[in-house]
Chain A
Amino acid sequence: MSNADELARRARLRVVELAARKAIHLGPALSLIDVLAALYTRILRRDPARPDWPERDLLVLSKGHGAYGLYAVLAELGVLTTDLNELPGHPSDGIPGIEAATGALGHGLSLASGLALGARLAGKDRRVYVITGDGELDEGSNWEAAQFAAHHRLGNLVAVVDRNRFQQEGDTEEVCALEPLADKWRAFGWRVGETDGHDITAIGDALNALRAGDTPAVLIAHTTKGKGVPFAEGDPSWHMGELDAVQHRIAVAALTTTA
C-alpha cells in the first residue's frame, strides 16, 4: 500500500471514530477521501511545515458537508492537531488548513473563481482547486460560476466533482438528473477529465493531465458514497448517520483488514 493509500485508510478510520461519537455526514466524507489524498500528496503545492505559506495552492471544499473527511486528512498530515470532534460540521474560518468557510451549497465554485482571478491579478503562479458534490450541482450558482470562469479563462482553476451519484434523497439521476454531466462542463467551456475516484494514482494522473491549459478544468471523480465501510457503501441512508457499537466494530475491521 502506498503512502497515499495508507493516509486515506487512516483518515477513513478517523471519520469512523467520529461517527461512533455522533451523527455526521458519513457517506459524503468517506467518498472524497481518496481525492483529498491525491491532492495533498501529489498535486497541491504546499509547505508541510507552514500550512499558511503565502505561495501555496488553495483548496476549497465546496461540499462543506464532507468536512470530516477533510479534517481527517489534515489531521493525518499533521496540519490539524485538535480533537476533530470539537470541530464544526462544516468548514469554518480559523481552522488550520481551511481556506474558506463553506456549507451552503453552490458557493465554492464562485469563491474559488475569485481566488483564482485574484491570484492572476496579483501575478501569482497559484492554482486553486475546488471540490464540489454532484448533488450540489443542482444549485444554479455553480453554472453562473462555470460560465464566469470559462469566460475569464481561469486556467489556474480546477474543480473536482465527487460523483458518488447520490444526494440526500437518492440517486442524482432520479432526483433531478445531472447527466450528461461531462458534456455540460464541456459546453460551458471547461476542459474535462474523468477518473476512478478511489484510485489515488489515477486521480493524480488525471489532475496532472488537466494542469496545462488556459481554460478552467474539471475532473469528474467517480466515487462510492460511504467508501470503505461496507454496509454504508452506496446506501444513501448513510448520508448522515451515527454508528452503533456493532457497526463501529464492522467498520473498523473493514478498514483494518485492507491494511
Chain B
Amino acid sequence: MRVALAPVLAAAVAADAGLITLGADGRALFQQVLEQNPRGYVDAGIAEANLVGVAAGLARSGLRPVAAAMAPFLVRRAYEQIRLDVCVPGLPVVLLGVGGGLGYGPLGPTHHATDDITLMSAMPGMKVYCPADAADAVSVMRAVLADASGPAYVRLSARPDPVLPPAASTGAPHAPRLLRDGDDVLIVATGRCVAEALDAADGLAADGVAAAVASVTTLHPFPATAIRELAGRRPLVVTAAESLAPGGLGPSTAEALGRRGPAVISLHTDHRYPPVASHQDLLRFYGVDGQSIRSAVLSYRNRKTREA
C-alpha cells in the first residue's frame, strides 16, 4: 500500500500548500514528498505521542496534517494524544497506521496491532478505514484528503498485498463493495481478509455452496443500511477481520442485521499469544484465513442439515 500511496501523497502535497505530512522515523510513504517538496514533510523521530500532539497543533494552525507511524506504536503509545488532542476537539488529522493487524508476522506481538480498529473505534468522531488492497488504499486516501470534517484513521498493510479485482476499489470507499454474488451465504470481510474471503468463496463453490463476498473498507461510520440490503434473504452472514471483535466488523454487522436477520458468524482474532509465524499462518492460527472462513460456512451448513 505504501508504494501505491507515496505518489498520491506527493501529488496532494504539491497541489495543496496546507497539507503537511509527518512521520516517526518511517519515510517510505513520504519519500516522494521529500524529494519533490521537502517542506511538506516533518520527521518527529521515534516519538509517537509527540508526533500526534504536533499534528494536533498543526491542525489548530489551519494546516491539514497526515501523520504516519507503525500501527502498534501509533495507536497504543499515542492513545491519549489521539483522544484528547485530536478527537475531542474534532481536528481534521489523518492518521496512517502502518502494519495494522498481523502484517509484521514473525516480529511478534510487540509489532502486531489487532487492537487498532478496536481502540480507534472508541475515539469520538473518528472515521476508521481498513482498505483491502493497494488500489483501495488509494481510494481511501483520496476520500480522507477530500474530507476535512474531522479525524480519520487508516490501517495500512506492512507488506505487499494480494491484488483484488477492480471492484474492490471502485468508487468511494464508504459503501460496501460486492465482489462476488451467491445466494447461500454472504461473507463480509475487511482489509487483508477480503482476499481470504474470495479464496473461501472459491473453495465453497467446489463444495456446492454459492457464496457472495462483500468488502467493507469503512468501519466507522459503519454502512449498516447497505449491509442490511446486501444480506438480503441469505440465511447466513460470516464476517472476517484480522482484528479483535469489539468495535470491529463482526459486532457492527450483527448490530446492523438485528436479531431477526440472518445468522451471523463473526470470525476475528483473540488474545492468544501468537506463534512465530508468517502473516498467512497467523491468519490461520487465529481462524480468519480463507480455509477458516470456508470451514465456518460448512460447519454451519452441516449443523443445519442435521437439525433439518
Instruction: Report which A residues bind B (CB closer than 8 A).
Output: 93, 99-101, 103-104, 106-107, 109-119, 121-122, 140-141, 144-145, 147-148, 151-152
Contacts and interface: CB of A to CB of B under 8 A. Distances in A.
A114 B58 contact: yes
Interface of B: 20, 39, 42, 44-45, 47, 49-50, 52-63, 65, 80-81, 84-85, 88-89
Given A104-B84, A107-B84, A115 B57 contact: yes
A114 B55 CA distance: 6
A155 to B, nearest CB: 16
A112 B50 CA distance: 11
5 contacts: A121-B39, A121-B63, A122-B62, A141-B53, A148-B54
B190 to A, nearest CB: 31
CB-based closest 8 A-B pairs: A114-B57, A110-B53, A118-B61, A144-B50, A144-B47, A114-B54, A115-B57, A141-B49
Contacts of B52: 110
Contact of B57 (A101, A110, A152): A110
A100 B20 CA distance: 20
Contacts of B55: 114
B49 A144 contact: yes
B42 A145 contact: no
A148 B72 CA distance: 21
A109 B56 CA distance: 11
Contacts, number: 95
Contacts of B39: 121
A119 B57 CA distance: 10
Contact of B45 (A104, A121, A141, A148): A148
Given A101-B84, A103-B84, A148-B47, 7 more contacts: A107-B84, A110-B52, A110-B85, A115-B61, A122-B61, A122-B62, A147-B47
Nearest to A128: B57
Contacts of B50: 110, 113, 141, 144-145, 148
Nearest to B61: A118
Contacts of A113: 50, 53-54, 57
Contacts of A104: 80, 84
A121 B60 CA distance: 13
B62 A114 contact: no
Contact of A112 (B57, B59, B84): B57
Most buried by A among B45, B50, B85: B50
Contacts of A116: 57
B53 A114 contact: yes
Most buried by B among A101, A106, A117: A117
A114 B84 contact: no
Given A107-B84, A110-B57, A121-B39, A147 B63 contact: no
Nearest to A101: B89
B58 A118 contact: yes
A112 B60 CA distance: 10
Nearest to A54: B62
A245 B54 CA distance: 45
B88 A101 contact: yes
B93 to A, nearest CB: 10
Contacts of B60: 99-100, 111, 114-115, 118
